[in-house]
Chain A
Amino acid sequence: MRQIDTQVVVIGGGATGVGILRDLSLRGIPALLLEQGDLAHGTSSRFHGLLHSGGRYAVKDDKAAQECIEENKILKHIAAHCIEDTSGWFVFLKEDDPNYLQLWIKGCAQAGILVEEVPVEEAFRLEPLLTRQATRVFEVPDATVDGFKLLWANVKSAEKFGGTFRTYCKVQSLWLEEGQVVGVYAEDLSTGEILQVRSKIVVNAAGPWSSEIVAMSGLDVHIQKDKGALLVFNQRMFNRVINRLRPPGDGDIFVPHETVTIFGTTSHWVELPDDHQVDDQDVKYLIATGRDLVEELDQHRIVRAFAGIRPLYESVDALDHEGRGVSRNFALIDHEKKDGVGGLVSIVGGKLTTYRLMAEKVTDWVAAKLKVPTKCRTAEEPLQNDPAPEVWDKARRLLGAAAADKMLERLNEQAGAVVETLARQPLLGQFVCECEMVTQAEVLHALQDPAVHSLDDLRRQTRLGMGTCQGTYCTYRATPMLQEAFGSWERTVKEYQILLGERWRGITPVLWGEQLRESELARALFLNVLGFEAAESEE
Chain B
Amino acid sequence: MWDAVVVGGGLAGWIAGIRAAQRGKKVLLVTEGVGTLFYFSGIFDYGDVERLCRLPKHPYSLFKAQVIAQGKRFIQELCPEYVTKDVPQSALTVLGTVRQGDLMPRSMVLPNRQEQGKFVLLVPEGLKDFFPEIVADNLAREFPGWQVSVKRIQVAAFAEWTRLGKGVTSIDYASIWRSEEGQSALTREIEEIQRGSQAVGEASSKLVVVLPSLVREYFDSSRSKPCKHEFSLPVLEMSSFVPSPHGRYFAEYLKHRFIDLGGELMIGARAVGINGESSSESRVKACQELVVDSMGKSLYLKGKEFILATGGLLGGGIKVGIARKTIREGVFDLPLFVPEKWSEPQFLAPQPFAQIGVETDELMCPLDPAGGQVVWENVHVVGRMLAHWDPWTQRCGGGVSVTSGYAAAELI
A interface residue numbers (CB < 8 A to B):
283-284, 287, 297-298, 302, 425-430, 476-477, 479-480, 483, 489, 497, 500-501, 503-505, 508, 511-513, 516-517, 520-538
Contacts and interface: CB of A to CB of B under 8 A. Distances in A.
B129 interface: yes
Tell me the dominant secondary structure on chain A's binding face: helix
Interface string B376-412: 0000000000000001110101000000000000000
Contact of A504 (B39, B347, B350, B354): B347
Interface residues of B, number: 55
Contact of A528 (B41, B131, B164, B353): B41
Contact of B94 (A298, A530, A538): A530
A159 B97 CA distance: 43
B342 interface: yes
B126 interface: yes
Contacts of A497: 347-348
B316 interface: yes
Given A479-B131, A516-B353, A537-B349, 5 more contacts: A500-B347, A508-B343, A524-B391, A527-B393, A528-B397
B221 interface: no
Which 5 residue pairs are nearest across A and B when measured between Cβ atoms? A426-B165, A531-B99, A527-B392, A504-B347, A535-B348
B242 interface: yes
B350 A534 contact: yes
26 contacts: A287-B322, A298-B321, A430-B128, A476-B129, A476-B241, A479-B134, A480-B131, A483-B134, A504-B346, A511-B343, A512-B323, A513-B319, A520-B313, A523-B354, A523-B392, A526-B347, A526-B348, A527-B393, A528-B45, A529-B41, A530-B94, A533-B348, A534-B350, A534-B392, A535-B347, A536-B346
Interface string B273-315: 0000000000000000000000000000000000000001110
A428 B166 CA distance: 9
A260 B196 CA distance: 55
A439 B41 CA distance: 27
B314 A537 contact: no
Interface in B306-349: 312-314, 316, 319-324, 342-349
A501 B165 contact: no
Contacts of B343: 508, 511
A489 B138 CA distance: 8
B396 to A, nearest CB: 11
Contacts of A483: 131, 133-134
Interface of B: 36, 39, 41, 45, 93-95, 97-99, 126, 128-129, 131, 133-134, 137-138, 141, 162, 164-167, 239, 241-242, 244, 312-314, 316, 319-324, 342-351, 353-354, 391-393, 395, 397
A513 B314 CA distance: 10
B35 to A, nearest CB: 12
Given A512-B322, A530-B94, A430 B391 contact: no
B165 A525 contact: no
Contact of B346 (A429, A516, A525, A535): A535
Contacts of B98: 531
Contacts of A525: 39, 242
Contacts of A517: 313-314, 316
Contacts of A526: 347-348
A129 B320 CA distance: 23
Nearest to B161: A427
Nearest to A536: B349
Contacts of A476: 129, 241
Given A479-B134, A531-B99, A538 B323 contact: no
B322 A298 contact: yes
A534 B350 CA distance: 7
Nearest to B351: A523
B134 A425 contact: no
A489 to B, nearest CB: 6
Contacts of B95: 479, 530-531
B164 to A, nearest CB: 6
B391 to A, nearest CB: 7
Nearest to A523: B392
Contacts of A535: 346-349
A516 B347 CA distance: 12
A476 B240 CA distance: 12
A529 B397 CA distance: 12
B94 A428 contact: no
A505 B324 CA distance: 18
Of A429, A513, A533, A537, chain B has the most CB atoms within 10 Å of the CB of A537
Contacts of B39: 521, 524-525, 528-529
Contacts of B162: 427
A253 B351 CA distance: 33
Nearest to B394: A534
B384 to A, nearest CB: 9
A298 B131 CA distance: 41
A313 B93 CA distance: 54
A534 B390 CA distance: 11
Nearest to A539: B344
A182 B199 CA distance: 72
A526 B393 CA distance: 10
Contacts of B342: 511
B349 A508 contact: no
Nearest to A299: B322
Contacts of B164: 426
A528 B399 CA distance: 13
A497 B348 CA distance: 9
Contacts of A429: 165
A302 B321 CA distance: 11
Nearest to B313: A520
Contacts of A302: 322
A513 B313 CA distance: 9
Contacts of A520: 312-314, 354
